[in-house]
A and B are shown apart, each in its own frame.
Chain A
Amino acid sequence: MTDIAAKPAVAAAPRRRRAQITPLEYTRRRWLQIVLLANFFFLYFPIVALVAFSFNDSKRNITWQGFTLKYYRQAYENAALHEAFTNSMIIAATSTLVSTALGTMLGVALHRYRFPGKGAFDGWIHLPIVIPEICMGVAMLAFFAAVNIQLGLFTVTVSHIAFSIPFVAVVIRARMSGFDEALEEASRDLGADRWQTFWNVTFPYLLPGVVAGALLALTLSLDDFVITFFTSGPGSTTFPVKIYSMVRFSVTPEVNAASTVLIVLTLTLTVTAMVIQSRSTRKMTARG
C-alpha cells in the first residue's frame, strides 16, 4: 500500500549541530569579518580621534590628559570663527532657497518634456556635478574678475547655487520617476485646471523630494571648500575656509572643536533628510 518511509532501524536521536556556514554566507567567515573590521577601523579612527582630541585637556599631546570643554569655549569666543559661521549660514540659507526652487523646476521639466537636443542638454546640466571642483573654482574666480564683481558673500552664494542646481534636479527627477501620471489625468478629468492640479496633486507628491533636495543643497553649501576658497574675499570667509586657514597654521584642539561642530551639523542634516525620505516612501506605498 502506501509507502511511508520507515524510520531507520537504529532509532538514534537526530543529531543537532550548530548552524554551519553555507557556501555563500561569506560574511560569516572569520577572515572576511576581520577584513571588514579593519576597514571600518580605518574609516572611523581618524574622525573619532579628531573628535576625541577636541575634548582633550592638552594642546599637543595625543595622550589623554583630561576631559575639557575649554576648546569649545575658545572656538565659541573666536570672533573670526563666529563671523565665518554666520557667513556660512547666510550663504547656505540663500543658496538652498534659490537652488531648490530652480533645481525643482529643472527636474520637473526634464522628467516631463521631450524636446530636441534633450540628450545634449542633459549632459550639459550634469557638468557641474562631474567636473573637478578646482576647475569650477578658478572659472568662477576668472568670471567675477572679468565682470569686475568684488569677491564676497554674493559671489560665493551665486557659485553655490550654480553647483547645487544639478544635484537638486537629480533628486527631483528620481522622485518624479515614481509618480503615476494617471493621478494628474484624474484631477483634470474631475475639472481641475493645470495650476490646481499641480498644487493639489503633483506638488504634495513632490514635497519629500523637494525637502530632500533642499537638505542636499544645504549640506553641499555648508560643506563646500574648494569653490568657496576661490570665490570668497576677506570678510566673506565661510566656516570650512576658516578652519582651513587655522589648520594651515597648526592643528590645535580648537580647530578640532570647530570641526566637531561642523560634523555634528552636517550629520544631523543628512540623517534628517534620510528619515524624511524613508518616511515618505512608506507613506507612499501605504497610500499607493
Chain B
Amino acid sequence: MQDWRRDKRAFGVLILPPSAWLVLFFTLPLAIVWVYSFGERGPLGQTLLALSFDNYGRAVEWINLSIILKSVWIAAVTTAICLVLGFPLAMGIAFAPARYKNLLLLLVILPFWTNLLIRTYAWIAVLRTKGYLNFALEWVHERIGAVLSLLGLPDLLGPFEPLLLLYNQPAVIIGLVYVNLPFLVLPVYATLEKLDKSYLEASLDLGAGQWRTLFSVTAPLAFPGIFTGLLLVFILALGTFLTPDLLGGPRSIMIGNLIAQQFGPARDWPFGSALSFLLMYATFVFLWIKAAVARQGGGVSY
C-alpha cells in the first residue's frame, strides 16, 4: 500500500469518478430526504421546506409507534426462529465429512440466489386457504376421520377448518425467516468451521457430555459468528418492505410499508423522510453495536 501523494494523478483518476457518482446519486438523494424530514406537507401534498421536528414527533404517536414496535417484535421473533433453525443447520454442515461440506453449503445458498420477490410470493401458494399446507392438513384430517369411522367412533374432529395462515403476522414471520435464514447460517458456519476442534475434544475428554460441551465450549467460542448472524437477520427483517407487502395484512404492516405509503398514496413525503431516517439511524446503531462487540471479542485468540 502506498501513500496517495506519491501517485496523485493515478489516485485521482481511479477514485474520483466512482466517488462523484456516489455523491451525486447516493449521498445527495439521502441529503435531500434528510432535509425533507424537517419539512412540512403542503395542502396539495407537495413538500415545503421548513425546520420542524413535527415529523419525528409524529413517529412516536401511538398509531405510528405501534407499527414501529410491531416491526421490532416481528424482527425479533424472526431472528429467534432463524437461530433455532439455523444453528443446527450450521453445525450439521460444519461437522459434515469434507466431501459433502461444499455441496451442503451450496444447497443452503442456492435458494438465496433466486429473486426475493419470487421467494416471497412462493409462500402465498403454500399458505393460502387452498394452499399446499392446508391441502396437506386436510388430507391428514380426512385420514384421521376415516380411521375413526373405521373404528366405529363418532366424528370427533368435525368438518375441516382451513388454517388462516396468510395476510397476517405469522405469514410475514414465516416469509422473513425463509428469506433471511442464510444470513444466519453462513456467519455461524464460517465461525464453526474455523474453530479448533481440539477444544470440543478436550471438553469431552474431561468428562462433559455433548450438550454440556455445546453450551460451555462450542457456543461461547462461536459467539462472534452467532452474534453477527443475529444482528444481520434483525437488521434485514426490521427494514423489510416486500415480505409484509405481499404476505401481510393490514394489521401486520411494518416500518418499510409505512414509509412506502408516505411516498405513495398518502403523499406525505416529509413524514416518510423522517421515518426513513429513523430506520437508518436504527440500522447504524445496530451496526455500531456489532462493531463494538467484534472489537471486544477480538482480544481472545482462537
Residues of A within 8 A of B (CB): 23-27, 32-33, 35-36, 39-40, 42-47, 49-50, 53, 60, 62, 102-103, 105-106, 108-109, 111-115, 124-125, 127-128, 130-136, 138-143, 146, 158-159, 161-163, 165-166, 169, 194, 219, 223, 225-226, 230, 240, 243-244, 247, 251, 255, 259, 262-263, 266-267, 270
Residue B70 interfacial (CB < 8 Å): no
With A165-B18, A165-B21, A259-B115 known as contacts, the answer to whether A135 contacts B108 (CB < 8 A) is no
With A114-B2, A133-B241 known as contacts, the answer to whether A62 contacts B118 (CB < 8 A) is no
- Chain B residues with CB under 8 A of A194: 10
Chain A residue nearest to B1 (CB atoms) is A114
- For residue B160, give the distance in angstroms from its CB to the closest CB of chain A: 15
CA distance A247 to B245 in the complex (A): 11
Chain A residue nearest to B106 (CB atoms) is A274
Residue B299 interfacial (CB < 8 Å): no
CA distance A47 to B32 in the complex (A): 39
- For residue A52, give the distance in angstroms from its CB to the closest CB of chain B: 10
Among A43, A103, A111, chain B packs the most CB atoms within 10 A around the CB of A43
- For residue B55, give the distance in angstroms from its CB to the closest CB of chain A: 14
- For residue B267, give the distance in angstroms from its CB to the closest CB of chain A: 12
- For residue B291, give the distance in angstroms from its CB to the closest CB of chain A: 10
Total interface residues on B, using CB and 8 Å?
Answer: 83
Residue-wise interface mask of B (119-153) relative to A, using a CB-CB cutoff of 8 A (1 in contact, 0 not): 10111111000111001000000000000000000
- Chain B residues with CB under 8 A of A42: 85, 178
- Report 16 cross-chain contacts, Cβ distance below 8 Å, ordered by A residue: A27-B96, A35-B88, A36-B88, A42-B85, A45-B132, A114-B2, A114-B3, A130-B283, A134-B276, A142-B32, A146-B32, A161-B21, A165-B18, A169-B18, A194-B10, A247-B246
Question: When the two chains form their complex, are residues A32 and B2 in contact, meaning their CB atoms are under 8 A apart?
Answer: no
Q: Find B97's partner among A27, A142, A270 (CB 8 Å cutoff).
A: A27
**Secondary structure call for the B interface:** helix
Chain A residue nearest to B282 (CB atoms) is A132
CA distance A141 to B33 in the complex (A): 10
**Secondary structure call for the A interface:** helix
Q: Find B279's partner among A27, A111, A135, A266 (CB 8 Å cutoff).
A: A135
Q: Find A47's partner among B17, B118, B263 (CB 8 Å cutoff).
A: B118
Within 8 A of A (CB), among B24-51: 25-30, 32-33, 36
Question: When the two chains form their complex, are residues A138 and B272 in contact, meaning their CB atoms are under 8 A apart?
Answer: yes
- Chain A residues with CB under 8 A of B121: 247, 251, 255, 259
The list of the 6 closest CB pairs from A to B, nearest first, reads A132-B239, A143-B29, A46-B122, A139-B29, A109-B14, A115-B4
Question: When the two chains form their complex, are residues B21 and A223 in contact, meaning their CB atoms are under 8 A apart?
Answer: no
CA distance A45 to B3 in the complex (A): 53
Question: When the two chains form their complex, are residues B18 and A47 in contact, meaning their CB atoms are under 8 A apart?
Answer: no
With A135-B276, A251-B124 known as contacts, the answer to whether A62 contacts B17 (CB < 8 A) is no
- Chain B residues with CB under 8 A of A44: 111
Question: When the two chains form their complex, are residues A266 and B114 in contact, meaning their CB atoms are under 8 A apart?
Answer: yes
CA distance A279 to B130 in the complex (A): 47
With A106-B18, A113-B7, A138-B272 known as contacts, the answer to whether A263 contacts B287 (CB < 8 A) is no
Residue B266 interfacial (CB < 8 Å): no
Chain B residue nearest to A26 (CB atoms) is B95
CA distance A230 to B269 in the complex (A): 13
With A42-B178, A60-B130, A146-B32 known as contacts, the answer to whether A159 contacts B92 (CB < 8 A) is no
Residue B200 interfacial (CB < 8 Å): yes
